[in-house]
Structure 1
Amino acid sequence: MKLENKSYPKDFRNALIGLLHEKQENLDQYDEEENEEIKRIEENIFILEKGIKTEYNKVNIDIEDHILNSDEISEVTFIQVQRILRLFFELDGFIKTEEQIRNHPKVFKLKFQGFNDHDDEELDNGQVIVAEYLIMKQKKFQQYKGIFREGKGNVMERYIEIINFFENRKINTSSIIEYLDS
């Protein structure tokens, strides 16, 4: 059974753009000449904002329909979903104090380093744990989870569905975060 196609209101797009502007304002206090990573972040913000504005007008974005009917997701829509997920990764990682930026530039690389070697339970439950990582470690992603889906089922189940969406696209869960950051 296929769900009726529908789109989220422009509030969805505006919420994403609003997050980008929030990030831009936060970066304005820094001297871009002092940190090449700040320049890269600002370039990403510009690209993401432009992408959100243009792609949103091309595609009816309904994340729930896309997850449930993933076999019919177009390549354009897949790219859009990827951008949106990546956006939340970047926003969560980029809001740092000046001291953190100066002393810990590597935090901006946003590379998932894997689970602790001693934690066999996490390794044995890879798919669930990756979903949990997305939920619990990415604060902006958690804060705006309502944008993605409303309905019955707990939060973990919803995000496992998002992981399943990527699994249907033959993306290994062990490298999903690296994939999104590539």
Structure 2
Amino acid sequence: MNDEEERPGIRGDDDADSCTTWHWHPTGINLLRFSSDGAYLYSGGKEGVLVDWQLDTGKKKFLPRIGSPLLYLTDSLDPSLSAISCADNQIHLQKMPSMEITKSISGIKPPFSSPDVYEGICSKFAFDDTAGLVALRTENYRIQFYSLFDDREISEGCSLGIQKDSFALHFLFSYIPAIQSG
């Protein structure tokens, strides 16, 4: 038996005691980052959960339900703050080490991709050029209302279930005037 068969996962002259495998994410990992003091490893994946791994003990903490795949984790000059960038064009500011989200900033969300069979039946967005409002279909049957004049999200709502009739369109068109009137 050669060295590689006796020590799976260890290559060449690597020290087996210094190699550790940790697993939690059920899907791909998009971000890995060490804390500034080197005591923690942060990982985030497509499932939208940030995991805080304490390196000396192997314990982990979770920040679940972020809502979108995680792309980046950035430290600030203040070590008690960091920012998470998500695939749905949101940035979450968080307090460290508690991992509490203190503020979320939403940009225009990427469009929902739908099968070509639905093209022509319903638009991917509705636009009111006088008020500068746009309503977009997003993932998970949600609708985002965004002010182009103010460059900010007005609100995001659910279309109240998966409906094959015109209910979602009725909801959308009755909701836009309510936003315009304040």
| TM-score of the superposed pair, with normalisation by structure 2 | 0.26
Q: In proportion to residue count, which structure has more strand?
A: 2
Q: Of the two structures, which has the highest relative contact order with CA contacts closer than 8 Å and spacing of 6 or more?
A: 1
| TM-score of the superposed pair, with normalisation by structure 1 | 0.26
Larger Rg: 2
Q: In proportion to residue count, which structure has more helix?
A: 1
